[in-house]
Structure formats: C-alpha cells, structure tokens
C-alpha cells in the first residue's frame, strides 16, 4: 500500500532567491502562523565542500500531527519527528530536499522529495519545483485495517500543507525581491 | 479533521526540548541564511561563515536534545570528514 503524489510548481523568481526562501520558510514569525503544524526546526549537521560548492545539511523537523482519534489512541503522541536532508549544488544550481519521518515509523513511512532547479524555459528568471510525496502504511501494523482511511487523510493533509508551503515561499520570494531592489515593504 | 481551520486553536508545543537553544538557533540561522544568499549562491562557496554561531548552537543542542533518534544525527557529525577549518 503505497500512495505517491507528484506536484510541479513554477516560481517566477530566480533559483538563488527561491532556494534562499526555502531556508527561511520555517523561521520567519509571520510564516509560523501559516505553517502552524511545524513546531521546531533544528539544524543537526552541516557540511560544506569548498572544492565543489556542495552544501549538505541535516535538519530535524518536529511536526504537530494530531490525526484522527483512533490514531491518537494507538500511537499516543501528537508530534512526529522528521529528518530533512538537503544537498545544494551551487555550481550546477540544484537543491534537493528529502524528508523522512523517524517517529511512528512502525506504522507509517512518509518520504517527501523536493527539487528546485532553474526552469528550462527561463533558467535565469524562473525556478521549477518538483515535489514527490510517498506514503506507505506498514502492513500488519495495528492500523492495518484502517490503513486505507489513514492514507487518504494523510495524503490530504500533505497536499494541503504543501499548498500552504508554496504560499509562504511566494511571500518570502516577494520580500527578498523587494529587498534586493532596495524597496522596503 | 481541523487541519486548515485550526488557526483558532492556540496550541502550545507539547515538546520543545530544544527551546533553551532558541536564541542560539536564531543567531545561527540568521547568519546562515545571510551567508547562503549573499555569498554561497553567488559563487563564494570556498569559505563558510557563522562558525562560532554554529559551535555554540551545536553545543546547546548536544545538551538539550532528548530524542535519541535525533541525537544520533548530531553525534554522526563527528564522523563526517569536514574539510573546513573550524579551529575547534
């Protein structure tokens, strides 16, 4: 039982601005209201390879995911820890983020992959974002009989949250654009 | 399910184990994002800024990160072959 979703989105902003916005996504106070399901984001590890211009980062993301009552009854917790690994290649201009849950992994595995690349139609002006989400409910888990329903709800939640994420990204990009032009908004 | 409409629910973080590090985290994060957008993406990737901010923040995390699954990632850093000079 695996559900996979692919979404594509074009940001009409250059790659360096969009990836800068991605780093700011969870930090700014205004976005914290929109992305209220994100409780904590901590950088656990980072490494720069100065010879190739590659930056590797590992972050912990704590998500508030209360879920339906029957899930809460089984898992007995309403926060979920995820680990996000990011590779940015400054030379090739690519950013790849992979996020996996590390809690509740006995019940469910969620993997989200996001890539930001210069848009082939306008590489210096636009950025293409490709997002793949796969959700797998573990067979034989206590949730197996309700798995179908849980998967559906999970998927809905991910789609809603990625829409919220895009909204925040657009807002930060606009802000960064104004900043780079010396306009205060 | 109240995903979108939970703006009225002022929920408090139920586990904020790294909260004591919030100030150090913000200092590091602000420094990092500035370095990223002003230097790294503009081709100046040979040196890394924010080394002292990172060291302070990491030391705080090592002390307060209670979740064992997460601290594994923090400890793993010792094994990473870091080529930058951090004067550690």
The CATH number of whichever domain residue A16 belongs to comes to 3.30.530.20
Burial A153-173 (b: 16+ CB within 10 A, else e): bbbebbeebbebbeebbbbbb
B85 touches chain A (CB under 8 A): no
Number of independent structural domains in chain A: 1
Q: Please say if the pLDDT value at position B80 is more than 50.
A: no
A155-179 pLDDT, tens digit each: 666 667 778 888 888 988 888 888 8
Taking contacts as CB-CB distances below 8 angstroms, the residues of chain B near A49 are 83
Task: Give domain limits for chain B.
Answer: 21-76
For residue A68, the enclosing domain spans 1-181
**ipTM of the complex as predicted:** 0.80
* Nearest-neighbour CA in chain B from A66: distance (Å): 9
What residue has token string 């399910």?
A: B1
Q: Which residues of A31-67 are buried (b: 16+ CB within 10 A; e: fewer)?
A: beebbbbbbbbbbbbbbbeeeebbbebbbbbbbbbbb
pLDDT at B73: 78
pLDDT tens for chain A, residues 1 to 185 = 677 889 899 999 999 999 999 998 887 666 666 777 777 888 999 899 999 999 999 998 887 766 666 556 655 566 778 889 999 999 999 999 998 888 777 777 888 899 999 999 999 999 999 999 888 877 765 555 565 566 666 666 666 777 888 888 898 888 888 888 775 54
Cross-chain residue pair B3–A160, CB shorter than 8 Å: yes
Among B7, B25, B84, the residue with its CB nearest the CB of A42 is: B25
Cβ–Cβ below 8 Å for A88 and B40: yes
Q: How many CA atoms lie within 13 A of A20 on its CB side?
A: 26
Closest partner CB to B33 (pick from A23, A46, A64): A23
Task: List pLDDT tens digits, range A57-71.
Answer: 999 888 776 666 655
């Amino acid at each position: 039982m695996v559900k996979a979703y692919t979404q594509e989105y074009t940001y009409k902003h250059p790659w360096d601005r969009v990836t800068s916005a991605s780093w700011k996504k969870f930090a700014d106070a205004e976005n914290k209201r929109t992305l209220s399901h994100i409780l904590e984001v901590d950088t656990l590890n980072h490494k720069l390879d100065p010879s190739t211009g590659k930056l590797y980062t590992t972050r912990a993301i704590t998500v508030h995911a209360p879920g339906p009552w029957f899930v809460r009854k089984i898992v007995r917790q309403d926060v979920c820890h995820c680990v996000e690994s990011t590779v940015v290649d400054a030379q090739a201009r690519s950013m790849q983020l992979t996020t996996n849950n590390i809690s509740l992994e006995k019940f469910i595995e969620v993997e989200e992959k996001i890539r930001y690349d210069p848009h082939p139609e306008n590489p210096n002006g636009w950025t293409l974002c490709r997002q793949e989400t796969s959700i797998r409910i573990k067979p034989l888990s206590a949730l197996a009989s309700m798995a179908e329903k849980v998967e559906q709800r999970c998927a809905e939640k991910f789609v809603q949250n990625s829409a919220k994420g895009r909204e925040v990204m657009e807002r930060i990009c606009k802000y960064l654009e104004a900043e780079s032009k010396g306009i205060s908004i | 399910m109240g995903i979108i409409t939970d703006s009225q629910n002022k929920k408090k973080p139920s586990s904020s184990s790294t909260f004591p590090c919030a100030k150090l985290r913000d200092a590091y994060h602000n420094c990092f994002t500035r370095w990223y957008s002003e230097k790294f993406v503009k081709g100046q990737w040979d040196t890394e800024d924010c080394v002292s901010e990172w060291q302070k923040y990491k030391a705080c995390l090592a002390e307060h990160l209670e979740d064992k699954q997460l601290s594994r990632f923090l400890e793993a850093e010792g094994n990473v072959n870091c080529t930058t000079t951090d004067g550690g």
